Chains A and B, each alone.
Chain A
Amino acid sequence: MALRLPRIGTSQIVALGLILVANWIVSPQFFDIRVQDGRLFGSLIDVFNRGAPVALLSIGMVLVIAMRGIDLSVGAVMAICGAIAASLADTHSLPVVLAAALGAGLLCGLWNGLLVAVLGIQPIVATLILMVAGRGIAQLITEGRIVTFTSPDLAFLGGGSVLGLPTPVVLTLGMMALTLALVRGTALGLMIEATGGNPRASALAGIGTRFITVGVYVWSGLCAALAGIVASADILGADANNAGLWLELDAILAVVIGGTSLFGGRFSIILAVVGAFIIQAMNTGILLSGFPPETNLVVKAVVVLTVLLAQSPRLGGHFAGIGVLFKRSKSGGKRS
């Protein structure tokens, strides 16, 4: 990857804005927001609410990718943890349910991390194992059915709201803040970037690359667990067959749209989350547009390519060009 002077991710934010405007054009009521049962309600809110699971996944994924890894198992981990949460919801208290589901995510992450860091298996294969087997485990838990629950506590995590914002959005913001505190409040972020940028040099500089590798996979597992809980809480049931299916690709896409290189190094959590919302804004736009579903993928391809081309260093980042106006007022280029 070519080296560049640091930039702040104005191109992503501009892209998100443009897609939202496009949505408004295909669906004039896009920006209408009203309050319904104490909760904000509208297409714009839907974008953030529906985007929450992928945003959560991308928070973990961005760290893994920054370490030159990749985690294909997140979709399956979502299914496992969602299944555990849904099966326990009606018989156990919420803390127990959450502990069990998050604990399972942690274990999944630990497994991936150990395969990568200790056995030295290439990340894509190491996590492929859990991607395949994990969905099986989730189906084993639900025996292939959709396990439903009625517990209002768990349901709150999917359908409830805090200060008018849907809980999934709040959880995503919370997880993002926690992760930011963890990696940018400590030197972990620097170490991850160094290791991703040059693993040999970092090991020689005394960074515990192995430990950090395991750590980022564990974190990715936790994020996936949370996403799984949100997904289950949303439909009041665990659909082990479909929960999180192919979401790993969306999460990776979000991370890359967020400007993090798949070859590791510099990363930005906030922009990865923005990337996730870009994807969801596009999906919501497609749904609102009323085009026949056969065209969904073609529209998606065109939008993804346009967003990426606009970010291309060759095109000088035209979005970023607009963004320079904002950039001047802010100081420094600290990434987060």
Chain B
Amino acid sequence: ADMTIGFSQIGSESGWRAAETTVSKAEAKKRNINFKIADAQQKQENQIKAIRSFVAQGVDAIFLAPVVATGWDSVLKEAQEAKIPVVLLDRDIDPAGKDLYLTAVTSDSVHEGKVAGEWLVKTAAGKPCNVVELQGTVGASVATNRKKGFEDGIAGASNVKIVRSQTGDFTRAKGKEVMESFIKAEGGGKNICAVYAHNDDMMVGAIQAMKEAGLKPGTEVLTVSIDAVPDIFKAMAAGEANATVELTPNMAGPAFDAIIAFKDKGTMPPKWIQTESKLYTQADNPMAVYESKKDLGY
């Protein structure tokens, strides 16, 4: 199809997001689509500007990875008035705006957290387990949801409880710094049974902090995090990490297919195309997964 699609990407704040961009480009190329990407540097106002400018350019469709759930009504209405279909990638928006977009290809981040929590409950197997949590950026919807999902996941198990929770801003460096202080605050780490991080990058930092403090992550301290970026599989292969929940970077593929079908045949896609939140553990041949993922642009 000879199509131009504009993509308002959130930014390039993490390896996962870089991979999403790379994969999206590759998928567009596969389908011969003219794909324009605008990087919003984590700012909603920039995303709105980008969408407006896509409308002004007269693209055929707009992909939007919304940085926040609210505030899209008026700009999406403008796109609608210009008869340009919008597909949400990776994150959803507020239910009030349901009829303003064609479909949403997202994972459910509450579900991701829940998967992580359930894994931990299962692994702790009834033994008392103090968890420290590395949150994402304060206020980021993913952070809020992954926290909520995890809490749901462990809700039934009174033996598992979160003893400390701080933000690590989704970064390795902060993850490491925060973990260092958790270790000191929890008696040199002896009281910590498991670490839950809202993303793998923070967990990689936390693993370093634990090793430097003489702890053995993966055995003495359980780890579970989300995203499934290649480096966590390396850690898993080395026995230093236990589990991760995958968030696929390929959101654009299904979105392209939906748009093409919609444009060519008028097929209405379902309102929500949910991607899988697959749990990986050390048992899933981490080295092989690492190899398969390492060139995806993470």
Beta-carbon contacts under 8 Å, A260-304 to B: 284, 287-288, 290, 292-294, 296
Within the complex, which residue of A30, A148, A231, A293 is in contact with B165, where a contact is CB–CB below 8 Å?
A293
10 residue pairs, one from A and one from B, having the closest CB atoms? A144-B18, A287-B181, A293-B167, A242-B171, A235-B172, A43-B184, A145-B15, A146-B15, A144-B12, A293-B138
Give the nearest-CB partner of A166 in chain B: B212
Spot the interface stretch: A14-22, A34-42, A98-106, A182-190: A34-42
Contact B18 A143 (CB under 8 A): yes
Bound state CA distance, A212 and B110, in angstroms?
Answer: 56
A237 part of interface (Cβ distance < 8 Å): yes
Contact A235 B208 (CB under 8 A): yes
Give the nearest-CB partner of B172 in chain A: A235
Contact B166 A50 (CB under 8 A): no
Bound state CA distance, A146 and B187, in angstroms?
Answer: 31
Bound state CA distance, A176 and B201, in angstroms?
Answer: 32
Q: Which residues of A contact B167 (CB under 8 A)?
A: 293, 296
Besides A27-B185, A36-B212, A241-B171, 14 new A-B residue pairs in contact (Cβ under 8 A), listed by A number: A30-B184, A41-B213, A42-B184, A50-B177, A144-B22, A145-B297, A235-B208, A236-B208, A242-B170, A242-B174, A284-B181, A287-B185, A288-B185, A293-B138
B112 part of interface (Cβ distance < 8 Å): no
Q: Which residues of B contact A193 (CB under 8 A)?
A: none
Q: Which residue, B178, B181, B298, has most C-beta atoms of chain A within 10 A?
A: B181
What are 16 of the A-B contact pairs (CB < 8 Å)? A37-B214, A46-B184, A143-B297, A144-B21, A146-B172, A146-B298, A235-B176, A235-B204, A235-B208, A236-B208, A239-B172, A242-B13, A242-B172, A242-B173, A287-B178, A296-B167
Within the complex, which residue of A27, A32, A145 is in contact with B298, where a contact is CB–CB below 8 Å?
A145
Bound state CA distance, A204 and B57, in angstroms?
Answer: 56
Bound state CA distance, A241 and B164, in angstroms?
Answer: 27
Bound state CA distance, A215 and B34, in angstroms?
Answer: 47
Contact A241 B138 (CB under 8 A): no
B205 part of interface (Cβ distance < 8 Å): yes
Give the nearest-CB partner of B174 in chain A: A242
Contact B173 A239 (CB under 8 A): yes
Q: How many A-B residue pairs have CB under 8 A?
A: 94
B191-214 interface bits toward A, Cβ cutoff 8 Å, 1 = contact, 0 = none:
000000000010011001000111
Give the total of A residues in contact with B, Cβ under 8 Å: 35
Bound state CA distance, A50 and B185, in angstroms?
Answer: 16
Bound state CA distance, A41 and B208, in angstroms?
Answer: 14
Shortest beta-carbon distance from A157 to chain B in Å: 14
Q: With A144-B18, A148-B231, A242-B13 known to touch, is A235 a contact of B173 (CB < 8 Å)? A: yes
Bound state CA distance, A139 and B138, in angstroms?
Answer: 24
A29 part of interface (Cβ distance < 8 Å): yes
Shortest beta-carbon distance from B102 to chain A in Å: 28
Q: Which residue, A32, A42, A146, has most C-beta atoms of chain B within 10 A?
A: A146
Beta-carbon contacts under 8 Å, B283-298 to A: 297-298
Within the complex, which residue of A36, A144, A243 is in contact with B173, where a contact is CB–CB below 8 Å?
A243
Bound state CA distance, A138 and B170, in angstroms?
Answer: 19
Bound state CA distance, A236 and B170, in angstroms?
Answer: 16
Q: Which residues of A contact B178 (CB under 8 A)?
A: 287
Q: Which residues of A contact B21 (CB under 8 A)?
A: 144
